[in-house]
Structure 1
Amino acid sequence: MSQLTSSVLGYPRIGENREWKKALESFWKGDLEEAAFLETLQAIRLNNLQLQQDKGISLIPVNDFTLYDQMLDTSTMFGIVPARFEYAGGPVPVNTYYAIARGTQQAQASEMTKWFNTNYHYIVPELKDAKPALTENRPLAAYREAKQKLGIEGKPVIIGLYTFLKLSKGYEAKELPELAEKFIPLYGQVLRELEQEGVQWVQIDEPILVTTLSEEELQLVHSIYTQLREAAPGLNILLQTYFDAVDHYEAVAALPVQAIGLDFVHGLEQNVSSLEQYGFPQDKLLGAGVVDGRNIWRSDYKQKLELIEKIALIVPKERIIVQSSSSLLHVPVTAKHETALPAELRETLAFAEEKLEEVVWLSTAAANADSANEASLAQELKLNGERIYNLSASPARNRKAADAAAIAAHPSVRQKPFAERQKLHQEKWQLPFLPTTTIGSFPQTTDVRSARQKWRKNELSSESYASFINEKIKKWIEIQEELNIDVLVHGEFERTDMVEFFGEKLDGFAFTRNGWVQSYGSRCVKPPVIYGDVVFIEPMTVTESVYAQSLTSRPVKGMLTGPITILNWSFPRNDITREQVAYQIALALSEEVKALEAAGIEMIQVDEPALREGLPLKRSDWDAYLKWGVHAFKLSTSDVRDTTQIHTHMCYCEFHDIIDSILALDADVISIETSRSHGELIHSFEEHTYDQGIGLGVYDIHSPRVPAVDEMVRNIERALRVLDPGIFWINPDCGLKTRGEAETVAALRNMMEATYQVRKQLGAPVAVQ
């Protein structure tokens, strides 16, 4: 049977059973020697490639695998190592590579932030005073390995120069053309060496092209690719975009490359419209991203084939590459282990391995739609359609949940403005100047994970497990009191994950057994699957919060995850809008907020670390998203007394971009994860006024290092130059779940000492007993 060219843009690196994660953590602990570690990773990498070959993928990506992060790979490939890591040139040693990502006791890690609007994090390159030089040709090494070990003629994947520069830091916008000129010869050398090796296709990822660009920026992009074309004139370049549609379609289509990749899932309507309006260059191939690389639902084959046929009216099939809409990094590895799920749900799932099959099936079916295989094609379409129908008809999808009337009737505005609430809170809580707190979680040590696993396997009774959790809560309440922290937390020892925990207790969610995806470094998460209407069943957090509060006279915060974060960190259903799902979650959480308040928990933190990451990539779409995102948060938090204090928390937030929306949340206190980009955030407060309670994380919890007191003092002092000390809180920049006990206590002790020093400098009582 004939087949259109098939491809994917990248494959999950974590391994079917998270072998990649386990190898990384063993290496970091010193339990695995570097040579054995690298051999383990090579085995995972080759297995991924062999699987794609066995499934029938035509163009198999190589160099999509990484030791930690592909942006960090690109930085170190060009010798971009911050001076504090004492790099002497040449290939970057593995330990230096990881030091950039994780920090050392002497050097702070590089900033980490979200990859566009996904839940994957990358290490931000630091280009200040950069003197780039090619240290090693990673794409070439990956190509050679695949060819020599498996006989695969791979498609090297490279992060495009313009995307790399735009996502870096340490330079001003006016310096961008000059920076590009420093890197162009190096990118050209990489491509020239690939051409000399006999590489046929290289995939250059430029997702930045789906954002809003100026005419000057487009001219620079054209200049970059003109020079790269000259550097390797015989190499076929697939310029790949994803995550949205290309606004500047004509300019992108005119770039001197051999193929253009477009996202026909998340940029479907606009990209199709551009093809119909402007056509497609006759000298180029089209990478048609028709299989969703970011969600886990099986493709509707009938719709996808119709889409390919529609595209084929403009671009002949022989010039179409059927592929995933983005890298499959963003979905779990395989659905074959999910035997515990209901059949009607299980049959509608397509993880990375199943998406390979979808890509190949669609490329084959599209090429043979008019052949003698029409009967088998019709049968597969029928079976596939039945699977999708069975899920859509499931009772779980159609329970009574929030409708427009319920949303309209629900309070979404606090009764009194913040200034009046603040006075009530001061009178009620009598907190000291510069109050201290933590973000929510404390270390989930081996014994915590072991007890949970035993409980889930029915090897530990629910009573014994609850007793174990209470012991942990009591221990850490005592530690917090000993440290003299002002507002305490119960530690979240009963929670596996800040989204999964709530999903397990709300109706409309399902949970996979092995549906892990990489979030950052070795950190993997298992996103819930929202497949039905979200409905509150019973209180979810009251028991642990009330127990913790019974142990202390200090306030204990109730801890919830907000509706937008639950939405963005799940795999949501795709038969209704994301906005509708968010409102369902919000009203369910509102029930929990009221239950906490009724139980005497009157400081309640509703975390929204993923609010900004869900921003559409085009600024023209921001307002609509932020409007319903803010509304969902306020639906969750507004039906409380004025004396109840609402906190929230955000991660890696480019604050200045959405400051109006953050103010619109009307939270009494917001804590922001800023330690790796403290200076940039402080600068935004020099340009914008923020007058509600705020805590800027004074130290980085993603690194095992214990920051010195002086370092935290400097962070506090810098913040107080632009913020009113009367609204400022002091806290770590995120939860402490992943840290060890000793380092956590040491870091918090230093945080408290830093607080005392600043209080003394400002003439306030140093400590309140």
Structure 2
Amino acid sequence: MKTSIIGFPRVGESRELKFATERYFRKEITADELEATGKELRNKHWQLLVDQGIDFIPSGDFSFFDTTLDTAILLNIVPTKYQALKLTPLETYFALARGYQGEEGDVTALAMKKWFNTNYHYMVPEIEDDTELKLVGDQIFRSFDEAKEAGIITRPTILGPFTLLKLATYQGSKRAGDFYEAAILAYAQIFEKLSERDCEWLQIDEPALVLDLSPIEVKQFKALYQKLLAKKGNLNIVAQTYFGDVRDAYQELVELPFDGIGLDFIEGRKTLSLLETYGFPKDKLLFAGIINGKNIWKNNYQQTLALLKKIKPFGEVVLNTSCSLLHVPFTLDNESTLSKDVKDHFAFAVEKLAELNDLKKIMADNDGNQVFLRENRALFDQERFSKNEQVAKRIKALTEKDFVRLPALMKRAVVQKDKLKLPILPTTTIGSFPQTKEVKQNRAKFKKGEISEYEYKVFNQAKIAECIAFQEEIGLDVLVHGEFERNDMVEYFGESLDGYLFTEKAWVQSYGTRCVKPPIIWGDISRSKPITVAYSKYAQTLTEKPMKGMLTGPVTILNWSFPREDISLRESTLQLALAIQEEVLDLEANGIGIIQIDEAALREKLPLRKSDWHSEYLDWAIPAFRLVHSKVQPTTQIHTHMCYSEFADIIQDIDNMDADVISFEASRSNLDILDALKAIDFQTQVGPGVYDIHSPRVPSVKEIEATIHNILKKLPIEKVWVNPDCGLKTRGVPETQASLKNLTLAAKKVRGGV
């Protein structure tokens, strides 16, 4: 058996790519220096894969921001407004990713959405009617050549035309099918140029095949590839799928003249049964995704070997990851604070390479008596997770009443309006303010023991006072304390909850240069002390205006953690919900009358197939949120926030969360969600984001004013809030202050004209 991976983490072992890219943004290094860092990382990672014995080594999985964006630019999918800037290719690339504001023009960034059911975000290609889809770039060839020069033969990888065109948005009358013929010609050119380089294999990623597909879409996929594969010549092509099974298109997929097919046996619940029902062609390689590319627990070799025993009769098998290793941290080697007994249970990206190698050796040895097999068996015979009987009893005692808040939404709205006395179009922010260098240094010094807890708190209180003074100066209506004490919206809460483990350098790319460090759920979750109360209570003493208490919701904490594998996601989420409920009630008892419980990642673990949405997820995720706030007083206003996903198709379920106010990311998606809100007569008050915080550009008063007027065309004014589309932690202070000043001025102008 041979081994393969779909992709590898690209930001580097120590986030080298992140820091180099940010230096480039600040104009501290040149484009050539940034390219040099990219080349250094690519070569380092390729050599690592060689050293670990991986047979199929990918190239083309590296990116300075996002591989979907890379594919779009490779194929000339660049909207006219970006071309008109007349920037260099790299500057145009980052203008698409981050927006651009300068002498050459002013453009917003492309829309950004969650990549299937992960916390990775991709840039949504935008296709106009006059877009000429054709091969114009050369990065896929340059990376192959680069590896070849280093003596390493790679398998180039590229996002396939079916998924690319399905994920794109269309600015005009044309749709995906109108660009199939052009895509065939462009990909055929890629085949030709790779063949000229004596490339043996090409990986074409088609993850859209795991979605619900209509018979028409399956027919389109088959017709597209019948034409395309007729042009592949001597090039071997593997169709790679991940994040689920391909039940709607399995027969068509295996009948097409691919040389290999990659199937996910981790999240693909029906993948094995598809093989058993329909068989698998003997003339194709089966790239079997048997190593979990999304979680960090060590592989159970006995279970995997039992699975491989069932797969092997269907043909020649290549041991593969279930998806790209982009979704897990780089290596355990950098974790010095975790004990060996704990680390033995984990496998990050580098360790997953070793697991592939182990399984390869075991499969080659009929006796299967390798030391690592015995060690792995012993590991899984141990009790891994810490239990809390009191938490289990609380969950067992829950009844339907615990998930219902009284009185009903409309009655609460009247009481809250009388208490808060807010103007129409109330203004607020999502919560966090810029985490400056000095803020990060203060936290780092405290964690290292270089300053006392008193000194740490005094600094944070000074920043809070400064933040509140600014908000009052510009006239925001509902204030926040800025969250200067928080590193990450999930990690911060996890650090204060029993049952979590934390890493030092287990960073995972979320988008572009944004990396997160997901905590690990090691046992039953409980709260032993207040988490946010002290800072929120202090902040409220500094202002007469309402202060929002800021919390992360249980579903998001779960979805942005590495979860346990021994209990259901539902049970873990209910444990978190009970813990956050205690925090909500403590905030309320300490005079905080508005509490925001963010569920930014609500959609993240939504099954990719609609038939599974309620039974496998929404039927417990929505009640878990309601459990958090069900016991608060009618006068307490509950907010929540959601971002960078498609929410229109679950909008009724979101309304059923029974929050009093919901803010959505909306600016990058052109306020598309408003139609969905209007269609179901959305009951909850709503704050669609009026400007994009993931771009450094400052929106003008006129621009925000126009956005507010567009919102009011579809939503009643008494239900609308005005806010940015997400937290401001990653932005600089000058651009944040300028943007918020313009936001409040725009809201006042619209109020004055009503």
Residue 333, structure 1, aligned to residue 324, structure 2: no
Please name the residue that 2:376 is paired with: 384
Tell me if the contact between 1:87 and 1:96 (Cα under 8 Å) persists in the aligned partners.
no
Paired with 1:305 and 1:655, the residues of 2 have a C-alpha distance of 39
Quote how far apart the aligned CAs of 1:178 are.
1.4
Please name the residue that 2:93 is paired with: 97
Quote how far apart the aligned CAs of 1:339 are.
2.4
Paired with 1:171 and 1:311, the residues of 2 have a C-alpha distance of 44
Counterparts in 2 of 1:137 and 1:369: CA distance versus 1, 3 Å: farther
Instruction: In structure 2, give the amino acid aligned to 1:335.
Output: L
Once the two structures are superposed, what CA deviation does each residue of 1:351-371 show, in whole Å capped at 9, x if it has no partner? 00000111111122112234x
Match of 1:721 among 676, 690, 713: 713
Paired with 2:9 and 2:233, the residues of 1 have a C-alpha distance of 31
Tell me if the contact between 1:253 and 1:280 (Cα under 8 Å) persists in the aligned partners.
yes
Instruction: In structure 2, give the amino acid aligned to 1:252.
Output: L
Tell me if the contact between 2:651 and 2:677 (Cα under 8 Å) persists in the aligned partners.
no
SS at match of 2:245: coil
TM-score by length of 2: 0.97
Paired with 1:86 and 1:63, the residues of 2 have a C-alpha distance of 24
Instruction: In structure 1, give the amino acid aligned to 2:220.
Output: L
Give the total of aligned pairs: 746
Please name the residue that 2:703 is paired with: 711
Quote how far apart the aligned CAs of 1:397 are.
4.2
Paired with 2:336 and 2:621, the residues of 1 have a C-alpha distance of 35
Once the two structures are superposed, what CA deviation does each residue of 1:224-266 show, in whole Å capped at 9, x if it has no partner? 2112211113111110110111112222222221111111111
Please name the residue that 1:211 is paired with: 211
SS at match of 2:233: coil
Please name the residue that 1:612 is paired with: 603
Where does 1:76-115 land on structure 2 (aligned, <5 Å)?
76-87=73-84, 93-105=89-101, 106-115=106-115
Counterparts in 2 of 1:92 and 1:188: CA distance versus 1, 3 Å: farther
Paired with 2:2 and 2:239, the residues of 1 have a C-alpha distance of 16
Where does 1:394-413 land on structure 2 (aligned, <5 Å)?
394=385, 396-397=386-387, 400-403=390-393, 404-408=395-399, 411-413=402-404
Quote how far apart the aligned CAs of 1:56 are.
0.3
Instruction: In structure 2, give the amino acid aligned to 1:436.
Output: T
Residue 510, structure 1, aligned to residue 501, structure 2: yes
Instruction: In structure 2, give the amino acid aligned to 1:116.
Output: F
Please name the residue that 1:65 is paired with: 62
Match of 1:699 among 665, 674, 691: 691
Tell me if the contact between 2:330 and 2:507 (Cα under 8 Å) persists in the aligned partners.
yes
Please name the residue that 1:520 is paired with: 511
Paired with 1:664 and 1:653, the residues of 2 have a C-alpha distance of 18
Counterparts in 2 of 1:725 and 1:653: CA distance versus 1, 3 Å: farther
Please name the residue that 1:274 is paired with: 274
Where does 1:123-272 land on structure 2 (aligned, <5 Å)?
123-129=123-129, 130-149=131-150, 151-170=151-170, 175-248=175-248, 249-267=250-268, 269-272=269-272
Where does 1:522-671 land on structure 2 (aligned, <5 Å)?
522-624=513-615, 625-671=617-663
Instruction: In structure 1, give the amino acid aligned to 2:295.
Output: N
Quote how far apart the aligned CAs of 1:407 are.
3.0
SS at match of 2:523: strand
Please name the residue that 1:734 is paired with: 726
Tell me if the contact between 1:110 and 1:124 (Cα under 8 Å) persists in the aligned partners.
yes
Paired with 1:351 and 1:748, the residues of 2 have a C-alpha distance of 40
Paired with 1:148 and 1:608, the residues of 2 have a C-alpha distance of 47
TM-score by length of 1: 0.95
Match of 1:39 among 36, 39, 47: 36
Tell me if the contact between 2:128 and 2:172 (Cα under 8 Å) persists in the aligned partners.
no
Quote how far apart the aligned CAs of 1:87 are.
4.9
Please name the residue that 2:454 is paired with: 463
Counterparts in 2 of 1:645 and 1:88: CA distance versus 1, 3 Å: closer
Paired with 2:585 and 2:379, the residues of 1 have a C-alpha distance of 39
Please name the residue that 1:766 is paired with: none
SS at match of 2:157: strand
Tell me if the contact between 1:92 and 1:135 (Cα under 8 Å) persists in the aligned partners.
no
Residue 17, structure 1, aligned to residue 7, structure 2: no
Tell me if the contact between 2:133 and 2:179 (Cα under 8 Å) persists in the aligned partners.
no
Quote how far apart the aligned CAs of 1:174 are.
7.2
Tell me if the contact between 2:296 and 2:346 (Cα under 8 Å) persists in the aligned partners.
yes
Paired with 2:390 and 2:36, the residues of 1 have a C-alpha distance of 53
Tell me if the contact between 1:6 and 1:321 (Cα under 8 Å) persists in the aligned partners.
yes
Tell me if the contact between 1:79 and 1:92 (Cα under 8 Å) persists in the aligned partners.
no
Paired with 2:16 and 2:549, the residues of 1 have a C-alpha distance of 36
Quote how far apart the aligned CAs of 1:173 are.
9.3
Instruction: In structure 1, give the amino acid aligned to 2:459.
Output: F
Instruction: In structure 2, give the amino acid aligned to 1:253.
Output: V
Where does 1:677-688 land on structure 2 (aligned, <5 Å)?
677-688=669-680
Greater mean alpha carbon deviation, residues 538-547 or residues 140-149:
140-149
SS at match of 2:175: helix
Tell me if the contact between 1:225 and 1:257 (Cα under 8 Å) persists in the aligned partners.
no
Quote how far apart the aligned CAs of 1:684 are.
2.7
Amino-acid identity (%): 46
Paired with 1:83 and 1:667, the residues of 2 have a C-alpha distance of 41
Greater mean alpha carbon deviation, residues 544-553 or residues 407-416:
407-416
Paired with 2:388 and 2:661, the residues of 1 have a C-alpha distance of 37
Instruction: In structure 1, give the amino acid aligned to 2:145.
Output: R
Greater mean alpha carbon deviation, residues 249-258 or residues 166-175:
166-175
Quote how far apart the aligned CAs of 1:626 are.
1.2
Please name the residue that 2:439 is paired with: 448
Tell me if the contact between 2:674 and 2:714 (Cα under 8 Å) persists in the aligned partners.
yes
What are structure 1's unaligned runs of at least 5 residues?
763-769
Please name the residue that 1:765 is paired with: none
Tell me if the contact between 1:76 and 1:92 (Cα under 8 Å) persists in the aligned partners.
no
Paired with 1:660 and 1:686, the residues of 2 have a C-alpha distance of 11
Paired with 1:632 and 1:164, the residues of 2 have a C-alpha distance of 35
Greater mean alpha carbon deviation, residues 170-179 or residues 479-488:
170-179
Tell me if the contact between 1:291 and 1:325 (Cα under 8 Å) persists in the aligned partners.
yes
Once the two structures are superposed, what CA deviation does each residue of 1:98-119 show, in whole Å capped at 9, x if it has no partner? 1110001211111111100100
> What's the C-alpha RMSD, in Å, of the aligned pairs?
1.5
Counterparts in 2 of 1:484 and 1:695: CA distance versus 1, 3 Å: same
Paired with 2:683 and 2:43, the residues of 1 have a C-alpha distance of 54
Counterparts in 2 of 1:302 and 1:398: CA distance versus 1, 3 Å: farther
Counterparts in 2 of 1:399 and 1:157: CA distance versus 1, 3 Å: farther
Tell me if the contact between 1:309 and 1:366 (Cα under 8 Å) persists in the aligned partners.
no
Paired with 1:662 and 1:301, the residues of 2 have a C-alpha distance of 40
Paired with 1:230 and 1:686, the residues of 2 have a C-alpha distance of 47
Paired with 2:553 and 2:291, the residues of 1 have a C-alpha distance of 30
Quote how far apart the aligned CAs of 1:512 are.
0.6
Query: After the TM superposition, which segments of 4 or more aligned residues of structure 1 sit over 6 Å from their partners?
Result: none
Paired with 1:66 and 1:642, the residues of 2 have a C-alpha distance of 49
SS at match of 1:75: helix
Paired with 2:267 and 2:246, the residues of 1 have a C-alpha distance of 11
Please name the residue that 1:494 is paired with: 485
Instruction: In structure 2, give the amino acid aligned to 1:19.
Output: E
Paired with 1:332 and 1:399, the residues of 2 have a C-alpha distance of 32
Paired with 1:172 and 1:307, the residues of 2 have a C-alpha distance of 48
Tell me if the contact between 1:402 and 1:583 (Cα under 8 Å) persists in the aligned partners.
no
Paired with 2:581 and 2:334, the residues of 1 have a C-alpha distance of 35
Quote how far apart the aligned CAs of 1:461 are.
0.6
